[in-house]
Structure 1
Amino acid sequence: MDDKDLKILRLVQANARLTAEAIGEDVGLSPAAVHKRLQKLRAQGVIEREIAVLSPARLGRGMTIIVEVLLERESRAQLDAFKRRMRSAPQVQQCYYTTGESDFVLILVVEDIKEYEAFTQTYFFDESNISKFKTAVVMDRVKISLDVI
């Protein structure tokens, strides 16, 4: 990966809808060269996905909650089961398997506290392998980013 690839990635990271022509003008490459580089970066898995970032509040999901989860047991099967459940839960935006005091850190978006309570009933209280969980309600979205470079 060279400096031109990094410039392309910065531009696409900020706006995935930029055309190869616009990127090429900024980077100093032809649109065809930009297109080839983008294809290569996608094939290598450097670009994992290209998505639209939606406003949770405008879609009725204005409450963000951070949850630390501690499991009772951590066998591979139990870890995999929890990961599968979190991947399938529509409220879960992000799920991290972590070291330290908790086994997982979750970022959720919900409509309100009632929806979060229902989530806890389904995914925590009805699950025998959850030892405990700690909740923090986000008061202000100060920075939202998945930028890497």
Structure 2
Amino acid sequence: MTKKTIFKSLDEFDRAILRLIQRDNKMPQRHIAERVNLSAAAVQRRIAAMEKTGVITANAAIVNTHAVHMSITAIVEIDLKDERLETVDNAKALFRKAPEVQQCYYVAGGMSFILVVVAPDMPAYEETTRRLFAQNSAVARYRSLIALDRVKAGTEIVIP
């Protein structure tokens, strides 16, 4: 089943359920059912189906970085030396495995990747940049943008 097929199969009930659980995935299914005009069993089946097909990819908590002493957030632009399939795939694998990398996007338009990286302090961030970028022969250059304030962070997307 292709992604296009999955998304075409979402009806208004599925979309309403997704809008609710993006804001609070711990909302009891009976409350979701009341809000979308379905039975709790129907909501449970629909959520399970969306998990199975990959529409819902994870249930996760958004953690306050300061509460866990991760005070440095950096947006990092990565330019690879080349865009060969092997180079790109190796970079993707490396960034996926690095726990400091919170988000990773393979992009078009001048850079190869944009990463969101967290660290407890600048020495730890420097170690991360050395390990992931400076000592990586596939990286031509990188640029760090240090966030001054986390104005908005989350995973909610607009579902029409």
TM-score (norm. length: structure 1): 0.96
Among 106, 122, 146, the alignment partner of 1:97 is 106
Post-superposition CA distance 1:2-61 (Å, at most 9, x none): 222111111111011111111011111111111111111112211111111111111110
1:114 equivalent to 2:123? Answer yes
Does residue 25 (structure 1) correspond to residue 30 (structure 2)? The answer is no
Q: Which of 45, 61, 65 is 1:52 aligned to?
A: 61
- Indicate the SS of the match to 2:76: strand
In structure 2, runs of 5+ residues without a counterpart are 1-9
Shift of 1:100: 1.1
CA distance in 1, matches of 2:130, 2:12: 50
- Asked if 1:84 corresponds to 2:98, the answer is no
Could you tell me how far apart the structure 2 residues matched to 1:76 and 1:121 are?
A: 23
Matched residue SS, 1:142: coil
| Other structure's SS at 2:20 match | helix
Q: What is the TM-score with the length of structure 2 in the denominator?
A: 0.89
SS at match of 2:50: helix
After TM superposition, what 4+ stretches of structure 1 lie above 6 angstroms from structure 2?
A: none
% identical aligned pairs: 34
The DSSP-based 3-state class of the residue aligned with 2:144 is strand
Describe the superposition over 1:64-102 as per-residue Cα deviations: whole angstroms up to 9, x where unpaired: 100000011221111111111101111100010001111
Q: Superposition RMSD on alpha carbons, in Å?
A: 1.0
